[in-house]
Structure 1
Amino acid sequence: MTVLIPINKIYLNLGSKISIPNLSWLEFENILEELGEKRNLRLAYSQQCLEIMSPLPEHERVKILISDLVKIILKVQRKPWEALGSTTFKNKTMEAGIEPDECFYIKNHQAVIGKNRLDLSQDPPPDLAIESDLTSLTEITAYQKLKVPELWVYHQGKLTIYILQEKEYKKSSISLNFPDVKIIEAIPKLIERANLLGSSQALWEFEENVKATQQSP
């Protein structure tokens, strides 16, 4: 006997995920509508596979710290930006959708000012997406299909930078958006300091270091 459960009735324990294969684009959009926007679950869709994830509390803490770090760099370097958090990005033509932990429009910030909904078949993708504890091939392929030029993945105390080159991600030691900041070293150190001294103190220290670096000849 087959038991059908409405998608909005499915409960996931914190830190768990489920995969739904062989899902059409229309079915994916119907699930997005059924779940609504006010939810703790995050979705990724690519190659007709949907993943639904329930982040852990520490996952949220790390993503906020990394997002704050990015904002400090942008502020010190006086670069304009638009931060869109975990907005749902999708492209019907590419049949891909993703909800990043955090994302930033930097180079293309003017293109999204005042917009509450984005369609990547018409709008540019974010210049930078951030994921904490990303381990899914579905998520990586979704970012590739949506042509997000730079992706940061923090996992088990290590940061990996992916740069989009010829439709595929390549690991890089240098950030495309912040080539003069040692991002790979800075983020693990920030999180370590936050665990030791608290988030505010760690972020103050980081800001002072960035300012000192910018002022040095």
Structure 2
Amino acid sequence: MLLELQQIIVKPGQQMLLKDVDWQQLENILEEIGEKRAARISYSYGWLEIMVPLPEHEKDKEIFGELVRILLDTLQIDCEPLGSTTLKNERMRQAVEPDACFYIQNQAAMIGKNRVDLNIDPPPDLAIEIDITSRTRFDNYEILGVAELWRYTQKGLEIYLLQQGKYIKSETSPNFPNISIVELVNEYVQQCLTIGRSQAMRNFRNWLKNNL
């Protein structure tokens, strides 16, 4: 007897791994579970991982997305934020859903688009992964060609830049040159956790106004 996907329950903070999933099956699964869901997926060469983040994961995800949007807006840098949209390329047999992603250099190519097809679209210029309850799959992002990946762990922000097909850890971000981005982001993420998100974001805007 075959199980239907809706019969399978993955609890928050846990993952389920499926093997020998072909591309059409992946597309069917994505359609069946829909876009408005808690679960996130990662797919590579027939292996499909379905993850359900814990609530603290979602909280950190929203904080990071807001910090980046405020920073881009203050610097008057045009962008197209596509959130946790599915990044997929059938030819490369890869798919992944970041916690947030931004088109910056390539923003003009994505105006008006709600979905990403990396068979024809460029990859995001920046992807963000919150590694509090799930492990970042570097391979997906490397193969898909995402130039800059931010990973946030309990130790703070890490920046990885794609060089010759592999990620190299960096202290700087080419999307935000001349800014100590690791130190800055870590400080205001911590403020969100101590004095509250609203006040922390006001402080962040004031710091940018006074220092940039």
Q: Which residue of 2 aligns with 1:181?
A: 179
Q: Tell me, which stretches of 5 or more residues in structure 2 are unaligned?
A: none
Q: Does 1:68 align with 2:66?
A: yes
1:52 Cα offset (Å): 0.5
1:14 Cα offset (Å): 1.1
- 2:179 & 2:20 partners in 1: Cα distance? 42
Q: Which residue of 2 aligns with 1:136?
A: 135
- 2:196 & 2:135 partners in 1: Cα distance? 30
1:29 Cα offset (Å): 1.7
Checking the alignment, whether the CA contact within 8 Å between 1:157 and 1:188 is kept in structure 2 is: no
1:64 Cα offset (Å): 0.8
Q: Which residue of 1 aligns with 2:115?
A: 117
Q: Which residue of 2 aligns with 1:171?
A: 169
Q: Which residue of 1 aligns with 2:5?
A: 7
For residues 33-72 of structure 1, the aligned pairs below 5 Å read: 33-72=31-70
Q: Tell me, which stretches of 5 or more residues in structure 1 are unaligned?
A: none
Checking the alignment, whether the CA contact within 8 Å between 2:102 and 2:126 is kept in structure 1 is: yes
Say what the alpha-carbon RMSD is for the aligned residues: 1.5
Q: Which residue of 1 aligns with 2:17?
A: 19
TM-score by length of 1: 0.92
Paired residues in the alignment total 211
Shift >6 Å, 4+ stretches: none
TM-score by length of 2: 0.94
- 1:97 & 1:159 partners in 2: Cα distance? 24
Counterpart AA for 2:49: E
The 3 A distance-change label for structure 1 pair 204 and 157 is: farther
The percentage of aligned residue pairs carrying the same residue is 45
Checking the alignment, whether the CA contact within 8 Å between 1:81 and 1:106 is kept in structure 2 is: yes
1:132 Cα offset (Å): 0.5
Deviation string, structure 1 residues 116-174 (Cα, Å, up to 9, x no partner): 2221010011111111017536x211111111101101011311111111111111110
- 1:41 & 1:208 partners in 2: Cα distance? 36
Counterpart AA for 1:175: S
